[in-house]
Chain A
């Protein structure tokens, strides 16, 4: 199936300044994601996750979604990564360079094959369906517009998510609390 005939010509693509900004953002994002899943140092793997998530936040800013972008910075980079580091410190995970954090080659090869096949299938479907779609000039989303929709049309889901967060908070306290009768350690 000739899919490349409908896509945008590469020469035109490189003539747009925003696409160079996209490449500058995308390269560290992919590198950070790659090192997150392959690094042998557990603390470095989590810190590379910061790079990947900061790249996604920058992409949200490129797409005019400023509020979501800064929420990613605050919630993911600010809170979730710190939570990961606390988890690593509490479970006294092996921090040295020669520790085994991943499975051996028997698992890695099929996993890599599966990931590559998944990526190729998804990429083929995306190029086939949206290969010629351009993102037209857009106005950045105003946070006030987002708030109006969130507290008008989506107020019930918003309350449900708040309730889930509350339940998760109480649940994690109940799970992580030490038992009263005798320390099982």
Chain B
């Protein structure tokens, strides 16, 4: 196995996640695209951890931290989307133009 094949998969997932974040209108789907980007970062972490044969396994430890923080982020994000939906009857981010000058 080469290292670069895993890095390329990570780069492809990250680019697709970026595409999703820019083009999606629904707030829940934007959060899903952010999850794709975080998964891409995790692939890089694990690939480098195995490649470097790190005795401390820092890559795996930090990908565990990323997973935990992503779970926290989704929890907060869904709560915010829910509150916006209660006040505006919509989860479409384009309609949140209250602060537009």
Q: Which residues of A contact B (CB under 8 A)?
A: 7-8, 13, 16, 18-19, 22, 26, 29-30, 33-34, 36-37, 42, 45-46, 49, 52-53, 56, 59-60, 62-65, 67-68, 71-72, 75-76, 79-80, 83-84, 86-88, 90-93, 100-103, 107-108, 111-112, 114-116, 118-119, 122-123, 126-127, 130-131, 133-136, 138, 141, 145-146, 149-150, 153-154, 157-158, 161, 164-165, 167-169, 171-173, 175-176, 178, 184-185
Contact = CB atoms under 8 A, between A and B. Distances in A.
Contact of A91 (B74, B75, B91): B91
Given A80-B74, A141-B60, A87 B42 contact: no
A165 B32 contact: no
A141 B55 CA distance: 10
A134 to B, nearest CB: 6
Interface of B: 1-9, 11-20, 22-29, 31-33, 35-36, 39, 42-43, 46-47, 49-51, 53, 56-57, 60-61, 63-65, 67-76, 78-83, 85-87, 91
Given A102-B25, A171-B76, A133 B2 contact: yes
22 contacts: A19-B1, A33-B13, A33-B17, A36-B20, A37-B24, A37-B33, A49-B35, A56-B13, A67-B60, A84-B28, A87-B31, A87-B82, A119-B12, A119-B14, A123-B8, A133-B2, A135-B51, A149-B56, A173-B79, A176-B78, A184-B86, A185-B86
A175 B83 contact: yes
A8 B76 contact: no
Contact of A37 (B4, B6, B23, B49): B23
A29 B47 contact: no
Contact of A90 (B56, B61, B82): B82
Contact of B68 (A86, A102, A161): A161
Contacts, number: 248
A49 B24 CA distance: 14
A133 B51 contact: yes
A101 B25 contact: yes
B63 A68 contact: yes
A56 B14 CA distance: 12
